[in-house]
């Protein structure tokens, strides 16, 4: 299994050994200009997960390329760079200066204003700006994930990442929003069924590689995403509480595979999707 972290859920320079336990490290989102992020409070726990409204805090593209990226390369881990922006031109300009990395376009951050262009338009401009591997990270809010996947594939993406956080609000004891911004990105266990549905819908629409994330805490959770059509799996909120999660999840996945009669993750690929297809075919008879 190809195992990554979800963007923003791990600082590789602070925890290099955790980063090295992954098959690739995904950076925090990089924007053209430096961003201090949103005002605190920016993180709040909920009963079944976590809300964040960090606001894409980062040192900006120039500092990232000149200082942060060389330090990350020294870790010896394949790198994915999360790219953000407030217009298609901004996304493309950052993609143009990145080399020897996989690019993940953050097209769906709920904590900042989005670019006016559609996801497909952004992917198309970025495809023109780089020949490197290009993945698009999409929102779970899409009503027709299959159509979204087809549009992104047609625009030139090499793969999909799903899902980003859902927009949510939590209130404190005084009935005030727990986050200063009000709403934030909701992640954690409750996101898992949403991720499973999104991956299944996208896989039915495209053969592109899919990086799946959303509430993954165990090897069983990873197996479920693979069974729905995920090519790779990413760990997110769990890394805040359990830095050993990558190693633990790998071991648990191996045991789950054996228990279900699979020799490898590839054998379990789309197992759930196949059962749905079988049911649909039986109804047509």
Q: Is residue 28 included in any domain, yes or no? A: yes
Percentage, residues of the chain above pLDDT 90: 89
**Residue 180 maps to a domain:** no
Q: Say what the pLDDT of residue 98 is.
A: 98
The bridge status of strand 232-235 relative to strand 2-5 is parallel
Give the predicted TM-score (pTM) of the model.
0.94
Instruction: Indicate the DSSP class of residue 76.
Output: T
Residues 6+ apart with CB under 8 A from 166: 110, 140, 141, 185, 186, 187, 191, 194
Over range 119-141, report the average pLDDT.
95
Domain count across the chain: 1
Domain range for 235 is 2-37+55-166+187-284
Alpha helix locations (H) across 99-227? 119-129, 145-155, 192-205, 219-227
pLDDT band per the 50, 70, 90 thresholds, residue 142? confident
Give me the pLDDT at residue 280, please: 59
Could you tell me the CA-to-CA distances from 26 to 4, 79, 137, 187, 282 in Å, in that order?
A: 7, 6, 12, 17, 42
Q: Is 202 part of a structural domain of the chain?
A: yes
Quickly state the pLDDT bin for 111 (edges 50, 70, 90).
low
Query: Alpha-carbon Rg of the chain, whole angstroms?
Result: 18
Which residue(s) pair with 4 in the sheet?
Answer: 234
Q: What is the pLDDT of residue 277?
A: 62
Task: Identify whether 109 is a catalytic site residue.
Answer: yes
**Per annotation, catalytic residue among 109, 126, 228, 270:** 109
User: CATH number of the domain that 225 lies in?
Assistant: 3.20.20.70
User: What digits encode the pLDDT tens for the residues 151-196?
Assistant: 999 999 999 999 999 999 999 999 999 999 999 999 999 999 999 9
pLDDT for the residue 43: 95
Give the confidence band of 69 by pLDDT, cuts at 50, 70, 90: very high
Residue 46 domain flag: no
Please report whether residue 49 resides in a domain: no
Residue 8 lies in a domain: yes
Taking 90 as the threshold, does the pLDDT of residue 276 lie above it? no
User: Which element (helix H / strand E) includes 259?
Assistant: helix 245-259
pLDDT at residue number 195: 97
- Could you give the CA distance from residue 132 to residue 120 in angstroms, rounded to a whole number? 17
Please tell me the predicted confidence (pLDDT) of residue 206. 97
Q: Which has more confidence, 276 or 73?
A: 73
Cis amide prior to 252 (ω within 30 degrees):
no
In a domain, 177, yes or no: no
**Quick one: pLDDT band at residue 141, thresholds 50, 70, 90?**
confident
pLDDT at residue 210, as a whole number: 98
Q: How far apart are CA 184 and CA 171, in angstroms?
A: 12
pLDDT-derived band at 246 (thresholds 50, 70, 90) equals very high
How many alpha carbons lie under 13 Å from residue 196 in its C-beta half-sphere? 17
């Amino acid at each position: 299994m190809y195992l990554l972290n979800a963007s923003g859920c791990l600082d590789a320079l602070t925890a290099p050994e955790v980063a090295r336990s992954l098959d690739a490290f995904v950076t925090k989102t990089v924007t053209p200009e430096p961003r201090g992020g949103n005002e605190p409070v920016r993180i709040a726990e909920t009963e079944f997960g976590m809300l964040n409204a960090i606001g894409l805090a980062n040192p900006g593209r120039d500092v990232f390329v000149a200082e942060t990226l060389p330090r990350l390369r020294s870790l010896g881990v394949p790198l994915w760079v999360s790219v953000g922006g407030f217009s298609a031109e901004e996304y493309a300009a950052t993609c143009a200066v990145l080399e020897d990395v996989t690019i993940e376009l953050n097209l769906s951050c709920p904590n900042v204003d989005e670019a006016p262009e559609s996801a497909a338009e952004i992917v198309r401009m970025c495809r023109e700006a780089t020949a490197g591997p290009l993945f698009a990270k999409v929102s779970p809010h899409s009503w027709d994930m299959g159509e979204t996947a087809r549009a992104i594939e047609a625009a030139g993406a090499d793969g999909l990442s799903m899902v980003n956080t859902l927009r949510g609000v939590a209130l404190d004891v005084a009935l005030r929003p727990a986050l200063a911004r009000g709403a934030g990105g909701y992640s954690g266990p409750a996101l898992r069924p949403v991720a499973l549905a999104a991956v299944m819908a996208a896989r039915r629409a495209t053969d592109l590689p899919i990086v799946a994330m959303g509430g993954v805490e165990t090897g069983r959770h990873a197996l479920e995403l693979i069974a729905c059509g995920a090519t790779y799996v990413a760990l997110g909120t769990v890394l805040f509480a359990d830095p050993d999660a990558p190693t633990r999840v790998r071991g648990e996945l191996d045991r789950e595979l054996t228990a279900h009669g699979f020799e490898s993750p590839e054998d379990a690929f789309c197992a759930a999707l196949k059962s749905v297809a079988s049911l649909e075919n039986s109804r047509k008879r």
